[in-house]
Amino acid sequence: MRTTEDTLHHVEFGRGVPVLMVHGFTVDHRLMLPLESAFTDRSGWRRVYVDLPGSGRSPRLPAPVTADRTAAALMTFIDEVIGREPFAIVGISFGGQLVRHVVAELGAQVMGMCLLAPVVAPVGRRELPARQVLDRDDELLAALDPADRAVFSDIAVWQTAAGWAAFRDHVLPGLRAHHRDDARELAAAYMLSATPETRFTTHDGPHLLVTGRQDHMVGWRDQLALLEHYPRMTYAVLDGCGHNVHLDQPEQVNALLRSWLDALEAESAVDRALRAGR
């Protein structure tokens, strides 16, 4: 594991082709760490988990804090830490909006993109399913700290011991670490000024989009509009998943992620063979 002090805080695992992991709103890179399971027994990938500005251990942005300025900070980070080599990228929720911006900015340098429950439409214009709780342990909830119980109950579809353990380990640390004033400011300018897909026609390469059937925060229907811009995108809507799809159904999400990595590796092998034959 490596860290760098002079840029956005991040941690890295492995060596090889970079794959950048971008978390969502008011959390930090720890939300993404369960995805490490997809890289078990797989070499050749340098996983870079970043804390966005004002999150985790990263420095704050100067005011004003907006989606556009957060995206610009992420682009600077990519330039500093990844440079001009090809890389893959994964984004969840608000991070899913940011990684689409990266695709619009860098084009073919991005080998492929994985979106987990990405933000597509602004609040108030989203097509959302009804709120559902699939299982609830009232005794567990009663034993939690009231503040923790409130944030957990607000998002979790599995309000059980297993659901709480995943939330406690991967969501709650970031919720406690983010800068709340910055979050309030960002919430008022949460959407990018230009939808990324309006800046290009299509982006080739293997892409993956996973949403939750019970995601009452960003939904799963609005994301269908992305498919026309990514002709090789696999789209899965998983039952038994709320907004944190990879925590609710980790085996299914990691299986899809492994298949996506297989496709990226195959694509790279074809490219190398074609270049060698020139």
Could you state, in order of their start, the residue ranges of all structural domains in the chain?
10-128+178-276
- For the chain, the C-alpha Rg in angstroms (whole number) is 18
Alpha-carbon span 114 to 20, nearest angstrom? 10
Q: Is 257 helix (H, G, I), strand (E, B) or coil?
A: helix
Nearest to 99 by CA among 57, 66, 70: 70
| CATH architecture label of 10-128+178-276 | 3-Layer(aba) Sandwich (3.40)
Look at the pTM and tell me if it is higher than 0.85. Answer: yes
**Beta strand 45-50 pairing with 10-13:** antiparallel
Question: In 3-state terms, the chain is what percent helix, strand and coil (to 5)?
Answer: 45, 15, 40
DSSP string computed for 191-202: S-SS-GGGG-S-
Strands 110-116 and 87-92: parallel
Return the pLDDT at 148. 97
Q: Nearest to residue 92, comparing CAs of 65, 69, 114? A: 114
The DSSP letter of residue 220 is S
pLDDT for position 154: 97
Helical residues (DSSP H) of 107-145, grouped into ranges: 138-143
**SS3 assignment, position 234:** strand
pLDDT per residue of the chain (278 residues) written in tens, 0 to 9: 333 345 899 999 999 999 999 999 999 999 999 999 999 999 999 999 999 999 999 999 999 999 999 999 999 999 999 999 999 999 999 999 999 999 999 999 999 999 999 999 999 999 999 999 999 999 999 999 999 999 999 999 999 999 999 999 999 999 999 999 999 999 999 999 999 999 999 999 999 999 999 999 999 999 999 999 999 999 999 999 999 999 999 999 999 999 999 999 998 865 665 465 55
- Say if CB 34 and CB 25 are below 8 A apart: no
Phi, psi of 55 (to 5 degrees): -120, 150
Question: Residue 184's CB: how many other CB atoms inside 10 A?
Answer: 10
By the 8 A CB rule, do 236 and 144 touch? no
Q: In whole angstroms, what is the distance from residue 244 CA to residue 149 CA?
A: 16
